[in-house]
Chain A
Amino acid sequence: MIAIIDYGLGNLLSVAKAFEEVGAGKPVMVTRAPEALEKASHIVLPGVGNYHIGMQNLRRMGFLESLNEQVIGNGKMFLGICLGMQMLSETGEESGQTEGLGWIPGRCRRLRAGDLKLPHIGWNDLEFQGDHPLFQNIAREREFYFVHSYCFDCPPEFRVAHCTYGERFAAAVQRSNVLGTQFHPEKSRETGLKLLRNFLRMPC
């Protein structure tokens, strides 16, 4: 089962629908219940919103323990999308300093876009490791949809894709079974669906 965490801040319907499309019959469940993660093979943390409020909601709803248990303890495949990826960091700087999940070292800070417009909204291309399983069969010229003002500043060894907008920032990250994308695969047309399919095929 693919569990999509509902912590009050996600475009849940779109994410659920995208996974139904690529899940090859795997049940997809949107859940507010931390114990539901026990039955999941894949856990998805979507995100449309503020870092501080996101962490606060996860904590208040009791998701921190079950996430740590299932993802770090039991090694279940995990995908964080946008804010869901940013919260993998140790700290977030949106609305003051907030402690994050801390699964990947680094902090979530404002994107240094220079003279460019911020937020970074729209379709942009990536530089990715050609052999990375998440990007299997995805052509280099394909664009992904971004909508964010903050980025996850993490050490290079955890970055599997970059995007450049004013600066070169992490567009996708991985640490063993934990993956994250700054862009929205569920909103990136057929290319995004392909990436989600790749995620589901990755061995634990």
Chain B
Amino acid sequence: MLRIRLVPVLLLRNGRMIKTIRFSSYRDVGDPLRTVRVYDAQGADELIFLDISATVEGRNHLLDIVSASARECFIPLTVGGGVRTVEDAQQLFKAGADRVSISTAAIENPDLIDEMAAYFGSANLVVCIDAKLGERGRYGVSTHSGTVLLKRDPADWAVEAARRGAGEILLHFVDRDGVMDSGYDLALLSKVSRAVSVPVMACGGVGTLQHLVDGVRQGGASAVAAASIFHFTDQSPIKAHSFMHDAGIPVCLIY
């Protein structure tokens, strides 16, 4: 039976791992490689690197971090942040990425999804949707690391992205990023996962291990991602897997 994936997220900026709250208030939280080693040893099913460096130098750091991680751990690496062209993606794959995630560039130029899927295959292409609450509590899609909000329904955009060739939707709840409070937005998560036939990975808001279970059970997520809970609390991927297993969710267990 296919296992539900538990995926720690590493947010990177200029070669360092950072923490944000609702995509702002950056705080340095350390050396990414050390963290990669820990998550790998603790049985993470996949790792996601999201880079928000705005400079070429920062991007080069990302390539170095991906390469160093691919040399050390034999689990899948999904990498995103600033990917705008097939060449950008190629560079990441070459550096050791197994899957590439695109976000702003995809909604600005949806043809990019078709182009990348035709080249790399859908299965290796993730479209990240940064869902953010706008006026009157309606969700829109935010771009440019949460600074711009488009009046586009995230579920509607997910359907288009999947139709064009996205192999997975990474649904990121911007308003819950780094808050570790109320879990994923289960209503939106379940709306998106029911709307598309590709897997959906949820991210943003996890504060307890029960939130992971809820994301799967109520939200229909195929993969559950989180950052802060693994970095700032004594919860680990090992404990998370075992909690999910006890709740009856199929996961990989470390023997």
A residues adjacent to B (C-beta < 8 A): 8-14, 17-18, 21, 48-50, 53, 83, 94-95, 116-125, 139, 141, 143, 145, 147-149, 165, 184, 186-190, 192-193
Contacts and interface: CB of A to CB of B under 8 A. Distances in A.
B168 A189 contact: no
Contact of B70 (A14, A121, A124): A14
A117 B222 contact: yes
A186 B76 CA distance: 9
A124 B70 CA distance: 21
A83 B70 CA distance: 20
Contacts of B255: 139, 141
A13 B72 CA distance: 11
Given A123-B252, A188-B74, A147 B124 contact: yes
Nearest to A10: B93
Contacts of B2: 116, 120, 122-124, 165
A118 B5 CA distance: 15
A50 B120 CA distance: 6
B191 interface: no
Interface stretch (B14-22, B96-104, B133-141, B228-236): B96-104
B121 interface: yes
Given A17-B71, A117-B197, A122-B5, A49 B120 contact: yes
Contacts of A165: 2
A148 B75 contact: no
Chain A interface helix/strand/loop/mixed: mixed
A9 B89 CA distance: 11
Given A119-B167, A123-B5, A165-B2, 11 more contacts: A12-B94, A13-B67, A14-B98, A48-B121, A50-B120, A83-B121, A118-B198, A119-B198, A123-B252, A143-B252, A193-B74
Most buried by B among A125, A143, A192: A143
B74 A18 contact: yes
Contact of B96 (A13, A116, A118): A13
A145 B75 contact: yes
B contact residues, range:
35 or more
Nearest to B71: A17
Contacts of B121: 48-50, 83, 94, 149
B222 A17 contact: no
A50 B118 contact: yes
10 contacts: A9-B120, A21-B74, A48-B120, A117-B222, A121-B167, A123-B3, A124-B3, A125-B1, A147-B124, A192-B74
Interface in B210-255: 222-223, 252, 255
B26 interface: no
A193 B73 CA distance: 11
A122 B223 contact: yes
B51 interface: no
Interface string B181-220: 0000000000000000111000000000000000000000
B75 A149 contact: no
Interface string B107-142: 000000000001111111000000000000000000
Interface in B74-103: 74-76, 90, 93-99
A189 to B, nearest CB: 5
